């Protein structure tokens, strides 16, 4: 079918799909996305596509300001014990759920208890730390842990810890009830998810300027799988925002009539190269550093991602505690093919004896071009890589096994991580680690545990020590940030849109032309 005809047919379908109660009017924000949410149950989902909707319906116990500092949310304040094992949260009074009930300390306790209950099966349970009890005394919730866990307040300010009103869960049914700026109206799977502005909303999120209800009447998430159809709907005004492809984003970024949003500085996202560090010769830091010296990050940024990301040498993403690009640059590798060749020569590799590696990747926009660029750069220093591509679920299974091996063909691989706190380094590198990439080194493991018992400047210093270890030993080669997948675009006459931490869209301040 010709693309122009396909787009015309899709436009007809779009208008038909918005018939009846969901008919779009000038007071609606319509966000076109490639996929639908999986669920609106915070404790049973881990996908960004779902959290982007849920952050509109539900609020957090705490918030992060524009400096990444923890401030009040549903709880007006919190305290942490000196050992970071007891946390108290004082609730703001009179917070109304969308159904008129009150969200209080008992409701917050219900959320936490349910999330950490093994019967719930939440993939986010470990991020709450080793909680032993939750207790309510009036408007105060006390959470006690068996081990120090200073990242807990930051986690409670993340999308993974949104607070649902208890009425949301009715047996096996999920009927979203929150305290957030938008109220759930209807969900037609794989077509539209409709929310209405909460007229009683009182804002305490420091990233939002509007003190009350959103300016728009409704917020509608539309599913438009095909990129050209999303762009056509954006350009004709059928949708307000759309997810662009990387190429579309690069083109629209040059057009004064459009704005492209990348969430720079707050995404918590970082892409990096990892290693099967148990398989020789990748068990030698010199070889891992040689890979780092062979890779030109800026070429990846320009060729693979059209300049929409920025190169980075820190294992911690910008905006997070411990991000210090000047110090990371002292410890990390930079593009220097001659240094790469010299290190490889030290361990016996050269033009007559090239190093053969597997390059294991999962297909994702921008990565295909970047992987080819890296393959060429590695070949230039005497490292021959065979690219093996697997769909993500299969890739995780493969790398989980491959990272355990101590013999065979060594592999390098690419990975992306996102989070509001540098504690994700524990998730990645404490054995077994994600996809079995954990590093069984006593020095590193001691530091990963210690940073959880520290706060403020002391914790930041420890996180810098962890990054120094990862970079000098080259267990990770950071590549770029802020992200590459969760882009958004609108016409430039739409104002007030911003992206919060971990690419959560914020529509409270959006004003339509």
pLDDT digits (tens, 9 = 90+) for 29-54: 999 999 999 999 999 998 999 999 99
What tens digit of pLDDT does each residue of 93-108 get?
A: 999 999 999 999 999 9
- For the chain, the structural domain boundaries read 3-58+180-263+486-506, 62-166, 269-481
Choice among 195-204, 258-267, 440-449 with the minimum mean pLDDT = 258-267
Give 457's pLDDT tier (boundaries 50, 70, 90): very high
Which one of 3.40.190.10, 3.30.70.100, 3.40.50.620, 3.10.105.10 gives the CATH number of domain 269-481?
3.10.105.10
State residue 365's pLDDT score: 84
Asked if 64 contacts 183 with a C-beta cutoff of 8 angstroms, the reply is no
- Strands (DSSP E) found in 336-460: 355-361, 383-389, 411-418
pLDDT for 484 equals 65
Q: How far apart are CA 312 and CA 269, in angstroms?
A: 11
The CATH number of 3-58+180-263+486-506 is 3.40.190.10
Asked whether 330 and 287 are in contact (CB, 8 A), the reply is no
Confidence (pLDDT) at 388: 97
Query: Which residues does residue 140 pair with via DSSP β-bridges, in sequence order?
Result: 90, 137
Question: Which pLDDT does position 24 carry in this prediction?
Answer: 58
> Residue 241 in contact with residue 250, Cβ under 8 Å?
no
Rounded to 5 degrees, what are φ and ψ at 191? -135, -65
Sign of CA dihedral 489, 177, 161, 432: negative
Of the pLDDT bands very low, low, confident and very high (cuts 50, 70, 90), residue 1 is very low
Q: What are the φ and ψ backbone dihedral angles of 98, each rounded to 5 degrees?
A: -60, -20
Peptide bond into 120 cis (omega under 30): no
Burial pattern 233-255, b for ≥16 Cβ within 10 A else e, equals: bbeeebbbbbbbbbebbbbbbee
Q: What is the CATH number that goes with domain 62-166?
A: 3.90.76.10
Confidence at 482, pLDDT banded by 50, 70, 90: confident
Percent of the chain with pLDDT over 90: 86
* Lowest mean pLDDT across 188-192, 199-203, 285-289, 368-372: 368-372
Query: So what's the pLDDT on residue 483?
Result: 67
pLDDT at 20 over 60: no
């Amino acid at each position: 079918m010709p693309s122009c005809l396909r787009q015309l047919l899709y436009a007809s379908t779009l208008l038909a799909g918005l018939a009846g109660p969901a008919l779009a009017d000038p007071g609606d924000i319509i966000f076109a996305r490639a996929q639908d949410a999986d669920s609106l149950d915070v404790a049973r989902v881990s996908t960004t596509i779902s959290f982007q909707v849920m952050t509109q319906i539900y609020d957090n116990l705490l918030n992060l300001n524009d400096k990444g500092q923890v401030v009040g949310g549903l709880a007006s304040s919190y305290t942490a014990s000196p050992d970071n094992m007891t946390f108290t949260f004082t609730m703001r009074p009179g917070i109304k759920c969308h159904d008129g009930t009150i969200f209080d300390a008992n409701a917050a306790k219900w959320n936490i208890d349910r999330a950490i209950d093994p019967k719930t099966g939440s993939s986010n349970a470990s991020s709450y730390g080793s909680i032993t009890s939750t207790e309510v005394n009036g408007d105060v919730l006390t959470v006690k842990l068996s081990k120090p866990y200073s990242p807990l307040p930051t986690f409670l300010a993340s999308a993974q810890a949104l607070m649902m009103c208890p009425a949301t869960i009715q047996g096996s049914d999920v009927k979203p009830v929150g305290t957030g700026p938008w109220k759930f109206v209807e969900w037609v799977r794989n077509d539209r998810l409709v929310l209405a502005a909460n007229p009683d909303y009182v804002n305490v999120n420091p990233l939002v300027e509007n003190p009350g209800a959103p300016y728009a009447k409704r917020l509608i998430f539309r599913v438009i799988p095909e990129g050209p159809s999303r762009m056509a709907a954006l350009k004709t005004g059928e949708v307000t925002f759309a997810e662009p492809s990387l190429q579309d984003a690069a083109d629209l970024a040059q057009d004064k009539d459009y704005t492209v949003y990348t969430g720079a500085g707050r995404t918590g996202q970082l892409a990096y190269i990892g290693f099967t560090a148990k398989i020789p010769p990748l068990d030698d830091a010199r070889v891992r550093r040689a890979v780092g010296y062979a890779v030109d990050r800026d070429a990846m940024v320009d060729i693979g991602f059209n300049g929409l990301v920025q190169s980075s040498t820190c294992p911690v993403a910008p905006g997070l505690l411990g991000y210090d690009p000047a110090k990371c640059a002292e410890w990390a590798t930079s593009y220097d093919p001659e240094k790469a060749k010299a290190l490889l020569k030290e361990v016996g590799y050269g033009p007559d004896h090239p190093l053969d590696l597997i390059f294991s990747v999962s297909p994702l926009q921008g990565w295909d071009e970047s992987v080819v660029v890296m393959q060429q750069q590695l070949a230039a220093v005497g490292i021959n890589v065979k690219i093996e591509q697997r769909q993500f679920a299969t890739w995780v299974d493969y790398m989980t096994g491959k990272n355990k091996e101590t013999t065979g063909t060594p592999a390098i691989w690419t990975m992306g991580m996102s989070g509001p706190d540098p504690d994700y380094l524990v998730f990645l590198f404490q054995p077994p680690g994600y996809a079995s990439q954990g590093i069984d080194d006593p020095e590193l493991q001691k530091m990963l545990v210690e940073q959880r018992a520290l706060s403020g400047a002391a914790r930041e210093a420890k996180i810098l020590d962890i990054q120094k270890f990862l970079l000098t030993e080259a267990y990770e080669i950071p590549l770029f940030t802020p992200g590459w997948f969760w882009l958004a675009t609108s016409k430039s006459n739409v104002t007030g849109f911003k992206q919060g931490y971990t690419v959560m869209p914020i529509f409270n301040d959006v004003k339509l032309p």
